[in-house]
Amino acid sequence: MVQEKKEHPKVKTSLHPRSKHRERYDFKKLIECYPDLAQFVKLNDYEDESIDFFNPRAVKMLNTALLKYYYDIDVWDVPKNYLIPPIPGRADYIHYMADLLNESNKGEIPTGEKIRCLDIGTGANLIYPIIGTKEYKWSFTGSDTDPEAIKSAHKIIVSNPHLKDLVEVRLQKNPNHTFHGIIQKQERYALSVCNPPFHASEEDANAATQLKMNNLTRKKDWKPILNFGGQSSELWCEGGEKRFVRAMIRQSKQYANSCLWYSSLVSKKSNLKSIYEALKKVEAAEVKTISMGQGNKVSRIVAWTFLEKEQRIGWFK
């Protein structure tokens, strides 16, 4: 039975104004660009073309098509059981950080490979460097504690020639360190980005996924699909997001002059108070909190710098 057709807004105004994903997916164009997507596109209950977003293979094919169509990525893959990231939200993070950089560059977004960026926990998918190199021609160093993720990210780099000169990945051998062993002497980064593990344990991660899927499917017997949710290091760590970000903040103090703006996603609003306390303790010169909205979900970026305003203005000279 066909349900009453929903009226969808033509533009997703919650996404960043420069986002390539503000309009609804044009599956015809995506399939022309990446024909393998076609088998997963069906009419839903409202007679709209869509995919089954509970099917990991379908989501992976959609991501591959989006990366090919919008970001010139010819070869992209992640190993089984690794995170398949939502591209529109990841793109928004990059765009909002670009806005932050323009404040230190006379109101103009700095572009080009001289703008170096650090991606903490780049993962097997390499999504932030892919977006940042395409949108702003920035160069990236991606780090991760998982050798398999680094191997996958490197494969994406060498499989897409335009990434080779702009992106490199480095293995963080000590999981207790964020920047030590990654930022080399004399290296300077305009910004660092991070999508931290949100949960405090595997049980918490599974429970959150179960609750989300119950709400979406109205079924209480839904079982988590492993190759949709991600590896443990991508989803949880001891102490969860709050402890991870606080540790990153403490360690960033040691590299106060190595990066113009440090930043991290913060999914839980309740963690902000503790994070602000950590930033006050390390005497950050300025802290910015940037809200992002994707559909019904609201998340935020917390960015901090140890450089005073005059130092920030002189960074790009």
Does residue 231 register a pLDDT over 90?
A: no
Q: What is the dihedral of CA 138, 144, 149, 152, to 10 degrees?
A: 30
Please report, for the domain that includes residue 128, its CATH number: 3.40.50.150
Task: Count helices and strands (H / E) in the chain.
Answer: 12, 9
Q: Are 131 and 59 in contact (CB under 8 A)?
A: no
Does residue 207 register a pLDDT over 50?
A: no
Q: Are 93 and 191 in contact (CB under 8 A)?
A: no
pLDDT at position 238 is 63
pLDDT band at 15 (very low <50, low <70, confident <90, very high): very high
Q: Are 101 and 138 in contact (CB under 8 A)?
A: no
Per-residue pLDDT reduced to its tens digit, 245-285: 999 999 999 999 999 999 999 988 999 999 999 999 999 99
In the chain, how many domains are there? 1
Per-residue pLDDT reduced to its tens digit, 106-125: 899 999 999 999 999 999 99
Residue 43, domain member (yes or no): no
Residue 25, domain member (yes or no): no
Residue 262, domain member (yes or no): yes
Q: Are 285 and 307 in contact (CB under 8 A)?
A: yes
Residue 5, domain member (yes or no): no
Q: Are 212 and 296 in contact (CB under 8 A)?
A: no
Residue 42, domain member (yes or no): no
pTM across the whole model: 0.88
Per-residue pLDDT reduced to its tens digit, 75-106: 999 998 898 999 999 999 999 999 999 999 98
Best CA proximity match to 118, nearest among 199, 19, 197, 184: 184
Domain extent, residue 217, equals 78-313
HSE toward the beta carbon, residue 208, CA cutoff 13 A: 15
β-strand partners of 167: 140
Residue 133, domain member (yes or no): yes
Residue 113, domain member (yes or no): yes
Residue 37, domain member (yes or no): no
pLDDT at position 314 is 87
Exposed/middle/buried for residue 106 (C-beta within 10 Å: 0-12, 13-18, 19+): exposed
Does residue 234 register a pLDDT over 90?
A: no
User: Whole-number mean pLDDT of the chain?
Assistant: 87
Q: What single-letter DSSP state applies at residue 151? A: H
Q: Are 267 and 299 in contact (CB under 8 A)?
A: yes
